[in-house]
Amino acid sequence: MGMLKRATGAAVAAIAAAGYGAAARAAEYLGQPTPGAIDMQPGASPLRHQQMFFHNVILLPIITIIALFVLFLLLWCVFRFNKRANPEPARFSHNTPIEIVWTVVPVLILMFIAIFSFKLLYAFHDMPPPDVTVKATGNQWYWSYEYPDLKIAEYTSNIVPEDKAPKGLFRLAADNPMVVPVNKVVRVLTTGADVIHSWTVPAFGVKIDAIPGKMNQTWFKAERIGTYYGQCSELCGIDHAFMPIQVQVVSQADFDAWVASKGGGAAAAASSAPAASAAPAASSAPAASSAPAASSAPAAH
Ligand SMILES: [Cu+2]
């Protein structure tokens, strides 16, 4: 008995240590996947925290309880009502109270989920006035970025080859990352130059399709300086796995310096404040890129 107790204690300690190790590693690997870890990447934007709350605190317990309840019902039927345990089966086929319960309870569960789900959906939709606007265009097979308000012309962001990529970051690292200031609302406009791609950065809780002839928009506010990685998340062809997304979150001073180094105009951020729809930003884009002009032509394809 004592030995069993000790063994159990050791197992619990090992599991706790493993969990602690994973948590420690997860903190270390902000903005990128962690080898051997369970759970999602640590979040680095306010809406990402809300998403994780929705998943971990609302959805996961509901899913677990329902799965266990259904398992219990199955086992109960198997053992209590098999031929040996219950040789004389009952003949009734309806039970009004229970039919009302199994209709009403799922409706209530779904309504409860909807409260949190819709709140999150609207939070993503109601973007605060953006400080920086970046247009991300998906190409076969790389991303290109443009800062229309800051007069930074479109530049391409290619994958860093395997022999040059930092350890564990092949297919995540990109040569010319998107650069954004910390704690500022960043509006991302996405479009596709050829086929549908999807601009995704897990740590910001952002995943939005980049569709040819259409301009989508989303936003995030990065809370911490660092490097964040994502990947195209729409099957877009043979090199789908080789068009990584790298976002460099820097201080405002570093961002201004980067804008200057790109030949961009400073302090244009305020001018974009009232804009809520994607169209005007697209029409003011200086570079002659292929996609935005088509955005108003619904019958292009
Ligand atoms: Cu793609």
Per-residue pLDDT tens digits for 200-226 = 999 999 999 999 999 999 999 999 999
Mean pLDDT of the chain: 84
Band (pLDDT 50/70/90 cuts) for residue 289 is very low
CA distance 180 to 256: 10
CA of 290 to the centre of ligand 1 (A): 17
> Does 164 score more than 60 pLDDT?
yes
CA of 207 to the centre of ligand 1 (A): 12
CA of 41 to the centre of ligand 1 (A): 22
Of the listed ranges 81-85, 148-152, 213-217, 261-265, the least confidently predicted one is 261-265
CA of 113 to the centre of ligand 1 (A): 32
Residue whose tokens read 């809406």: 47
3-state secondary structure of 197: strand
CA of 79 to the centre of ligand 1 (A): 51
- Cα radius of gyration rounded to whole Å, the chain: 25
CA of 143 to the centre of ligand 1 (A): 8
CA of 199 to the centre of ligand 1 (A): 8
28-79 pLDDT, tens digit each: 678 998 888 888 889 999 999 999 999 999 999 999 999 999 999 999 999 9
Alpha carbon of 227 to those of 180, 182, 244, 284: distances in Å? Answer: 10, 11, 13, 29
CA of 9 to the centre of ligand 1 (A): 48
Cβ pair 108, 122 in contact under 8 A: no
CA distance 60 to 51: 12
